[in-house]
Structure 1
Amino acid sequence: MSKGKATAVGFIAVLLWSLLALFTVGSAPVPPFQLNAICFAIGGAIGLIWTARNGGFSTLRRINWRVYAFGTFGLFGYHFLYFSALRLAPAAEAGLIAYLWPLLIVLFSGLLPGETLRRGHILGAAVAFGGAALIIVKGGGGFQSNATPGYALAFLCALTWAGYSVLSRRLGTIPTDSVAVFCIATAALSAVAHIAFEDTVWPTTQIGWLSCIALGLGPVGLAFYVWDIGVKRGDIQVLGVASYAAPLLSTLALVVAGISKPTLPLLFAAILIAGGAALAARASAGKV
């Protein structure tokens, strides 16, 4: 698979993650960790079926347990920190801090063998982050000092996903089928967290059940497999900046569904995100 094709495959994850908010709204009133357990169980099952059809179980048995620990830490750690941050701090501000991960991916990727961090990458990431920030904080009420623990967890959340994504590049020889094990282990840990911290609440409508299933099939399922391909074989710097499209597309999905209203900041955000991605792409081509 060429680098360009792998980058395009990785961007499918961004498109799927843009539906995360829409399906999460539809899945109410299922609590976060229970939802996590359901969705990752579905995502893991998809991966195991795919692996079985391709005869990859023998390969999975040869993978070092440290790789599985790393992948599980990345998936479960990110979601655990994200949900915890949103419990302890205002959602808009905590979400903004958590969405530092695309910027961190661009910056950290410059440390990888064979990669060069150009001025255009940094400029593009900063411009695109401005667009993402505009979307996330457009209705925010400012930072609150009593929410500092939540802000700290949100920053750890960003570090976790950026680190997972960049370090996955170093595991380029590990087959993407291994993500199925990551998902199953994450589902198990999420189930334990649910039992420890939450009351069980199942979907009460058909829309709720369909939303849970859709989450497991897409944003919390297939997305992690295509992302794995993208960060291992594609242009990780372009993917990092392109990830800022997720909050934009997520907002557009909510607008189309009638949950949110179109606003002028949304238009400005679109210009910033598209411009930032273009700068990063030019930098990867050696033009900036």
Structure 2
Amino acid sequence: MGRATLIGFSAVAMWALLALLTDASGDVPPFLLSAITFAIGTTVGLVARVVAPPAETVKIPPQVWIIGIAGLFGYHFFYFTALRNAPAVEASLIAYLWPLFIVLGSALMPGERLQWHHVAGAALGLAGTFLIVTRGSGLSFDSRYAFGYAMAGVCAFVWSAYSLLSRRFPAVPTSVVTWFCAATSLLSLICHFMLEETVLPATAGEWLAVAGLGLMPVGLAFYAWDIGVKRGNIQVLGAASYAAPLLSTLVLIATGFAEPTPAILLACVLITSGAVLAAKSLLFSRKPAAAKA
């Protein structure tokens, strides 16, 4: 279970590159960027199938298709809708409730046991994310943006539901994510033609950023996340997911796109402490004493 949890956390690490690569991709509108990057993510899965063909063909239940496509496309659709209808700071913070929803929702999963340190760890992570998203300046909710806030809440619910429901189908191979990515790419392209004006990357650097998005945050990350939520410790993975905005901010600082502040330092302490607290049963578990002869 520890290895699967680490694989799942590698998805969180890859999502930390999302802001940097998205910013470097130029003025490509969101749904078009989603269509292109998920097409690359589909290619990642197809290449994996060629390199390591599935040992056997597994029949995929219809509900898995619904969960997978609704999860990947639904999350991005509602997130983009939220950003179009509410200030980015408030919408982003509401959307980042999904790790907490995963931790709390895990109590409803068969064979799972939710303990106080899981909830406390997730709460510390949320507090740290609050500092990062708001930059320590607080929030300003306005009833005019109620629809956008609601869409951000739906976004958080959709991703947490996708993650938790995926765990109910551990026998379904991760290779099925290939087709989830393909469907998300197609649906995003349809939304692009309906809602956006086409703007392609203008330089080779912007195309490289788009390729990087498709290979990692919108490619390998979803395959790694599938392994983590199906076979790893989902409470720990949920709480540790709050590291994504922290790592993203640290990447932006390292590349000169952001400045370090006391709020970020405090957020680092909160999120790291929360992740360690949530994972304390894995990190500090006592090994059974050897039996006496």
Q: Scaled by the length of structure 2, what TM-score is found?
A: 0.93
1:125-175 CA-to-partner distances (Å, cap 9, x unmatched) read 111110011101125651121011000000000000000001110010000
Check whether the contact 1:245–1:273 (CA below 8 A) recurs between aligned residues.
yes
Check whether the contact 2:67–2:165 (CA below 8 A) recurs between aligned residues.
no
Q: How far apart in 1 are the matches of 2:44 and 2:143?
A: 43
Deviation at 1:58, TM superposition (A): 6.6
Q: Is the partner of 2:168 in helix, strand or coil? A: helix
1:217-264 CA-to-partner distances (Å, cap 9, x unmatched) read 000000000000000011011000100000000001111111111111
Check whether the contact 2:7–2:228 (CA below 8 A) recurs between aligned residues.
yes
Q: Determine what percentage of the aligned residue pairs are the same residue.
A: 54
Q: 1:181 aligns with which of 176, 179, 184?
A: 179
Residue in 1 aligned with 2:265?
267
Q: How far apart in 2 are the matches of 1:217 and 1:140?
A: 35
Residue in 2 aligned with 1:216?
214
Check whether the contact 1:87–1:150 (CA below 8 A) recurs between aligned residues.
yes
Deviation at 1:59, TM superposition (A): 2.1
Residue in 2 aligned with 1:198?
196
1:87-116 CA-to-partner distances (Å, cap 9, x unmatched) read 100001100000000000000011111111
Q: Which moved more, 1:148-157 or 1:66-75?
A: 66-75
Residue in 2 aligned with 1:25?
23
Residue in 2 aligned with 1:80?
77
Deviation at 1:284, TM superposition (A): 5.5
Q: How far apart in 1 are the matches of 2:196 and 2:253?
A: 31
Q: How far apart in 1 are the matches of 2:153 and 2:26?
A: 26
Q: How far apart in 2 are the matches of 1:285 and 1:213?
A: 36
Residue in 1 aligned with 2:128?
131
Aligned-residue RMSD, C-alpha: 1.5
Residue in 1 aligned with 2:230?
232
Q: How far apart in 1 are the matches of 2:114 and 2:254?
A: 37
Give 1:249-264 correspondences, 5 Å limit: 249-264=247-262
Q: Is the partner of 2:279 in helix, strand or coil? A: helix
Q: 1:105 aligns with which of 99, 102, 106?
A: 102
Check whether the contact 2:64–2:166 (CA below 8 A) recurs between aligned residues.
no
Q: Between Structure 1 and Structure 2, whose CA radius of gyration is higher?
A: 2
Q: How far apart in 2 are the matches of 1:286 and 1:21?
A: 34
CA 1:57–1:183: 2 relative to 1, 3 Å: farther
Check whether the contact 1:106–1:236 (CA below 8 A) recurs between aligned residues.
yes
Q: How many positions carry a matched residue from both structures?
A: 284
CA 1:173–1:93: 2 relative to 1, 3 Å: same
Q: 2:13 aligns with which of 12, 15, 18?
A: 15
Check whether the contact 1:93–1:140 (CA below 8 A) recurs between aligned residues.
no
Residue in 1 aligned with 2:53?
55
Q: Is the partner of 1:116 in helix, strand or coil? A: coil
Check whether the contact 2:8–2:225 (CA below 8 A) recurs between aligned residues.
yes
Q: Is the partner of 1:218 in helix, strand or coil? A: helix
Structure 2 runs not aligned, ≥5 long: 286-293
Give 1:34-73 correspondences, 5 Å limit: 34-56=32-54, 59=57, 62-73=59-70
Structure 1 runs not aligned, ≥5 long: none
Q: Is the partner of 2:27 in helix, strand or coil? A: coil
Give 1:113-192 correspondences, 5 Å limit: 113-138=110-135, 139=137, 142-192=140-190
